[in-house]
Structure 1
Amino acid sequence: MVRKRIDIIDNSSVVMTNEDKYGATPEVLKDFLSVFLDDEVDLRYGAVVRRIIPRRMQMRWRDARNKVDCGVFAMRHMESFLGESVTAWDCGLQKGDTGGLDLLRRSYMRQILTNEINAHHHKNICSVVGYRDDIEQR
């Protein structure tokens, strides 16, 4: 294990203890990971994970007021986080940047609705084309 840390990535900057904010979830996930490492990799790694205290990352774009874009933040975090330190990580967002969040929301929505794995992707694409045709005729 190169870095011995467990990062909690949360777009909210509300000041609370991890226990108050997340309950037992970080410890439960840590336990699952350590059991997997014990069973599938090496007991030493499971022991290391058990000693790590999960820490909440203090990203500069966190916002205590934005309570509706958690999914957009989560998607962007999964796309951009590669394990770097919080000072080196730049996901492209700024605190209070509603325009950037709107662009990401539209992009994720388009990808979800039109991806071939979506059982309704053809219907979704046809609806958009029909809507566009109606707009152009006006």
Structure 2
Amino acid sequence: MGLFSKLKKTQRDIVKEEIVETPWHVLSEIKQLDEIVEQSKTTPVAIFKHSTTCGISKMAFRNFERNYDLTDDQMKLYYLDLKAHRDVSDEVGYKFQVQHQSPQLIVVKNGVAVANASHHSIQADELQKFI
């Protein structure tokens, strides 16, 4: 029966099985930033600041997800919806001393921002060097 079940699968079914979910953690409260600082002392943290109404941000987000291949144990990955949580976005900039951009990816290690990229410079494969 195993052979026949494989024959019944469409191309879309096969692709869906190959998709690995991106291990997002939602960043929606300012108090989470203290947790991120603590987490970053043992595991690098990346914060993706995304504007849900911006086409460039949407494209950067899709490209990032398509190429992201780290596990939650290797890097903690946070998603911040700028439109819904502008206060959190402002505090991220202040706390980590990074000028606001959208979209933006900020890498935090040992409590400080060690890298950031925006727009088309956001590359998921660049995060490997922070592990």
TM-score category of the 2 structures, normalised to the smaller one: under 0.3
Kindly indicate which of the two structures has a greater share of residues assigned to strand: 2
TM (normalized to structure 2)? 0.25
Kindly indicate which of the two structures has a greater share of residues assigned to helix: 1
TM (normalized to structure 1)? 0.24
